[in-house]
């Protein structure tokens, strides 16, 4: 007798207000890093009707024209006028920027007798499983692909009445802990006034859902919801405020596995919220890719100003080929988890972060996403004695 379970994950398009905020924060980060790779950046964005507020702590040797970056980001997403949610040319922009705290700087800076420490305390998690080719959970993988496809068909005028805001959600039915079928798919998208909802549904199924979800996962029992309220004309910051870091589960694994709570966007790599989470994903992915487990979660924790992690935990949920404690010892000897070493190993002083700010930080095997590389497989297998 098979055991049936349902698990659901959501994603949002690049036009969702929270994701707009993430992209603005990371666009600012990229420009600053381009000008001064050693900059310290903690930049957050808040959006509402006709207004963008950028605030944070930034220490840099370069000049950055923040309003221009904001407007370029809004334009690139597709917010051309107030009717769409916010007008990139005429929206108000307020900035409130201070330098990084000297107390934090003292713990992060290298000095005689003190190596670069973590930019904050906290615990970070990485996760991987063998449900998809990218070693991501299937629900979040499909949800991201649907959201990205939704933006694509809008920008390419394949569906010419769409607007930037949108959300997706995928429920996968598992049998004996393996993906079996899509139980439910939700696609909600902003659209122009007077759009016929029957046509919208047909267009979304044909042009968004079918090109992404493999036919074998679409069954006669799959429930498909399109704009369940019946209308989605008002969207973007006009409909809902946006804030950097409010979609942290969308950014990671869709609720599968644990989350430390720290957001990524707008933070330079001295913030282990970001860099250590990327490294933990890299390690977990290499463990699964090496066949040492079919599922792996890694927790690493830091104290502010201290280089070495205060803890490292590996959990393979009973799927590991060797004991989890032994695997943790192998990881500790194989990967250098000090912040400076992570930054150098993953090449995180490059302006690569805006592209992470929509459709997930993990599972996208893009050239700049060094944490997605599976380049340590043979070494892990050898050290595990397999």
* DSSP conformation letters of 289-322: HTTS-SEEEEEEEE-BT-SS-SEEEEE-TT--SS
Contact 28, 97 (CB under 8 A): no
What pLDDT is attached to residue 284?
Answer: 98
What pLDDT is attached to residue 89?
Answer: 97
The pLDDT of residue 112 is above 60? no
Q: Residue ranges of the alpha helices (H) in the chain?
A: 17-35, 66-77, 102-108, 138-155, 197-204, 210-212, 248-251, 272-289, 324-334, 339-346, 377-384
The pLDDT of residue 125 is above 80? yes
C-alpha 234/C-alpha 190 separation (Å) is: 7
Phi-psi bin for 347: left (phi > 0), alpha (psi -120 to 50), beta?
Answer: left
Confidence of residue 121 (pLDDT cuts 50, 70, 90): confident
C-alpha 301/C-alpha 89 separation (Å) is: 43
Least confident of 93-102, 282-291, 354-363: 93-102
Q: 84: which DSSP letter?
A: G
The pLDDT of residue 106 is above 70? no
The percentage of the chain sitting over the pLDDT mark of 90, rounded to a whole number, equals 88
What pLDDT is attached to residue 111?
Answer: 63
What pLDDT is attached to residue 76?
Answer: 97
What pLDDT is attached to residue 386?
Answer: 78
The mean pLDDT value for 91-114 works out to: 77
What pLDDT is attached to residue 9?
Answer: 98
Least confident of 34-38, 97-101, 309-313: 97-101
Confidence of residue 118 (pLDDT cuts 50, 70, 90): confident
The mean pLDDT value for 101-128 works out to: 76
The pLDDT of residue 74 is above 70? yes
Confidence of residue 273 (pLDDT cuts 50, 70, 90): very high
The pLDDT of residue 104 is above 70? no
* pLDDT, tens only, 212-250: 999 999 999 999 999 999 889 999 999 999 999 999 999
C-alpha 126/C-alpha 284 separation (Å) is: 6
- To the nearest whole number, what is the mean pLDDT of the chain? 94
Backbone φ and ψ for 346, nearest 5 degrees, come out as: -90, 0
What pLDDT is attached to residue 107?
Answer: 60
Q: What's the token pair of residue 218?
A: 């679409």
* Cβ partners under 8 Å of residue 125, min gap 6: 252, 257, 258, 259, 260, 277, 280, 297, 298, 299
The pLDDT of residue 255 is above 70? yes
The pLDDT of residue 19 is above 60? yes
Confidence of residue 105 (pLDDT cuts 50, 70, 90): low
* pLDDT, tens only, 349-370: 999 999 999 999 999 999 999 9
């Amino acid at each position: 007798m098979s055991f049936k379970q349902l698990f659901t994950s959501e994603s949002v398009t690049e036009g969702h207000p929270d994701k707009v905020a993430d992209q603005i924060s990371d666009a600012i980060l990229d420009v600053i890093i381009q000008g001064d790779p050693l900059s310290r950046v903690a930049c957050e964005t808040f959006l509402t009707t006709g207004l963008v507020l950028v605030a944070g702590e930034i220490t840099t040797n370069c000049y950055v024209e923040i309003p221009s970056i904001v407007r370029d980001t809004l334009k690139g997403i597709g917010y051309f006028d107030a009717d769409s949610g916010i007008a990139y040319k005429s929206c108000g922009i307020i900035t409130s920027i201070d330098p990084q705290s000297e107390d934090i700087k003292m713990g992060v800076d290298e000095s005689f007798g003190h190596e670069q420490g973590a930019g904050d305390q906290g615990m970070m998690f990485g996760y991987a499983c063998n449900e998809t080719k990218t070693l991501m959970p299937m629900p979040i993988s499909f949800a991201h692909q649907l959201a990205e496809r939704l933006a694509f068909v809008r920008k390419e005028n394949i569906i010419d009445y769409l607007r930037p805001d949108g959300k997706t959600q995928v429920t996968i039915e598992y049998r004996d802990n393996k993906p079996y079928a899509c139980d439910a798919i939700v696609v909600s998208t902003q659209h122009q006034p007077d759009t016929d909802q029957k046509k919208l549904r047909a267009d979304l199924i044909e042009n968004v859902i079918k090109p992404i979800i493999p036919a074998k996962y679409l069954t006669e029992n799959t429930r498909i919801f399109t704009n369940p309220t019946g209308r989605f004309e008002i969207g973007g910051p006009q409909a809902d405020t946006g804030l950097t870091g409010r979609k942290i589960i969308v950014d990671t694994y869709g609720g599968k596995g644990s989350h430390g709570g720290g957001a990524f966007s707008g933070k330079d790599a001295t913030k282990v919220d970001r860099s250590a989470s990327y490294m933990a994903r890299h390690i977990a992915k290499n463990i699964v890719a090496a066949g040492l487990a079919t599922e792996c979660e890694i927790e690493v924790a830091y104290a502010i100003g201290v280089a070495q992690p205060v803890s490292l935990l590996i959990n393979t949920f009973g799927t590991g080929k060797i004991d989890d404690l032994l695997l943790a010892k192998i990881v500790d000897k194989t990967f250098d988890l000090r912040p400076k070493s992570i930054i150098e190993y993953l090449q995180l002083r490059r302006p690569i972060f805006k592209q992470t700010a929509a459709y997930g930080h993990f599972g996208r095997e893009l050239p700049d996403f060094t944490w997605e590389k599976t380049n340590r497989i043979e070494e892990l297998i050898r050290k595990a004695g397999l």
